[in-house]
Amino acid sequence: MSAAALAGRGGPAVAVGRRGFDRALLLAIPATLFMVLLFVYPFLYGLWLSFAPAKGGALANYRTFFTTPDLWPTIGITLKLALPATLINVGIALPIAFRMRVRGRWQRVVTTLLVVPITLGTVLIAEGMLNYFGPKGWLSHTLQLLHLYDGPIRLTHNYWGVLISLVISGFPFAFLLILSYVTGIDPVLARAAATLGAGTFAQFRHIYLPLLAPGLAMCFCLAFVQAFSVFPSAVLVGAPAGPTRVISIAAYQAAFEQYDYSLASAIAMIMGFVQLVIVAAVLGLRGLFYRGPVAGGKG
């Protein structure tokens, strides 16, 4: 992009401001206007609304949130689900994506298979889990047949059900995202390392991992954001009244069961804030790693 800008008028991107107003800029106006009206304005409105409760001072909603025993623990409950799920998903997706980095038949087959759980969505996965992981489902039968576990297994309507559903929907997402980063790294770099005697692990450790760090940080953030906003599966395969009463359930109930939009907005803002803290921490860690081009050669 910067090279193109330097190339001036012959390049793909033309700097504006040399000769009056450029009408091509008008083309971005509908999209900008739309985003301002339907994304920025509601967000700011929600922020304002959260400080304007029906009764009490400006901070009454936030005080309510941090003093009500079924509201403030939702932060911890959500983090206890979202952080392990994200670590599992990214931690397992990374070595598998690294193994699959060479374009070939298997890469195509596996990526195609893994797209299915993403597009089916969390609601369908939850319904399937109730059948399959339920106490009378196939999994329970198989475990009993193999005498691995004799009692009825309890993997639905509790913490584990939600964690499993987060892994089923989140792992393929993390895998495909990391795969797109891994395949974006020029294999020439790894081959150069190999000629100097680096084995597969050394190549991974010294070539791929540093180059992947920004991508991994991004992937962790996106996977975390998804897991943190868990809603349908926490209701359907979790225990929404107790151990999996996540923060989005609290926000939803405030808005659509108590019709307290002000409190609901405050919960949504707290949710955004907690998530922002985690994302900022991860991106801060990323800053410790190498930053630069991921292509070898002339690039």
Partner 1 sequence: MSAAAIGAQPTRHASAGGAAKLLDRAWRGLLAGLMVLFVVNVALLIAAVAVNSVATRWLGTWLPAGWTLSWYQQSWSDFQLAGILWVTFEVVVAVVVLSLAIGVPAAYTLARRDFPGKRALLLLFLLPLMVPPMTYGIPLATVLYQMHLAGTIWGVILANLIPAAPFVILVMTPFIEQIDPNLESAARVFGAGTGRMFTSVLVPLLAPGILAASLLVLVRTIALFELTFLTAGPDSQTLVVALYYAVFAAGVRAPQSIDAMAMIYMLVTLVWLLIALRFVNPTQLVSRVKEHPVPAG
**Which residues from 82-121 bind partner 1, rule CB under 8 A?**
92, 95-96, 99, 101-102, 110-121
- Residue 188 as a binder of partner 1 (CB under 8 A): the answer is no
Nearest to 168 by CA among 131, 207, 123: 123
- Interface size with partner 1, residues (CB under 8 A): 108
- Residue 13 as a binder of partner 1 (CB under 8 A): the answer is yes
- Residue 206 as a binder of partner 1 (CB under 8 A): the answer is no
- Residue 160 as a binder of partner 1 (CB under 8 A): the answer is no
> Cβ neighbours of residue 89 under 8 Å, at least 6 residues apart?
166, 167, 170, 171, 173, 174, 223, 227
- Residue 148 as a binder of partner 1 (CB under 8 A): the answer is no
CB of 204 to partner 1, least distance (A): 11
- Residue 285 as a binder of partner 1 (CB under 8 A): the answer is no
Q: Are 214 and 286 in contact, with CB atoms under 8 Å apart?
A: yes
- Residue 170 as a binder of partner 1 (CB under 8 A): the answer is no
- Residue 296 as a binder of partner 1 (CB under 8 A): the answer is no
> Cβ neighbours of residue 137 under 8 Å, at least 6 residues apart?
131
Residue in 179, 207, 211, 278 binding partner 1, rule: CB under 8 A: 179
Collapse the DSSP code of 89 into the 3-class scheme (helix H, G, I; strand E, B; otherwise coil) and give the result: helix
Residue in 42, 76, 242, 287 binding partner 1, rule: CB under 8 A: 42
**Which residues from 53-82 bind partner 1, rule CB under 8 A?**
none
Residue in 85, 126, 166, 212 binding partner 1, rule: CB under 8 A: 126
- Residue 177 as a binder of partner 1 (CB under 8 A): the answer is yes
Tell me how far apart the alpha carbons of residues 290 and 283 are, in angstroms, rounded to a whole number.
13
Torsion, CA 7, CA 12, CA 17, CA 20, rounded to 10: 130
CB of 243 to partner 1, least distance (A): 18
- Stated as kind and residue range, the H or E segment containing 10 is none
Tell me how far apart the alpha carbons of residues 142 and 150 are, in angstroms, rounded to a whole number.
10
Tell me how far apart the alpha carbons of residues 115 and 120 are, in angstroms, rounded to a whole number.
9
- Stated as kind and residue range, the H or E segment containing 53 is none
Contact letters for partner 1, residues 212-241 (x by CB under 8 A):
---------xx--xx-xx-xx--xx-----
CB of 137 to partner 1, least distance (A): 6
- Residue 5 as a binder of partner 1 (CB under 8 A): the answer is yes
Instruction: Work out the number of other CB atoms within 10 angstroms of the CB of residue 167.
Output: 19
Instruction: Work out the number of other CB atoms within 10 angstroms of the CB of residue 252.
Output: 17
CB of 89 to partner 1, least distance (A): 11
Q: Are 209 and 230 in contact, with CB atoms under 8 Å apart?
A: no
Nearest to 232 by CA among 275, 168, 176: 168
Judged by CB under 8 A, the stretch of 58-66, 155-163, 196-204, 281-289 that binds partner 1 is: 196-204
- Residue 141 as a binder of partner 1 (CB under 8 A): the answer is yes
- Residue 176 as a binder of partner 1 (CB under 8 A): the answer is yes
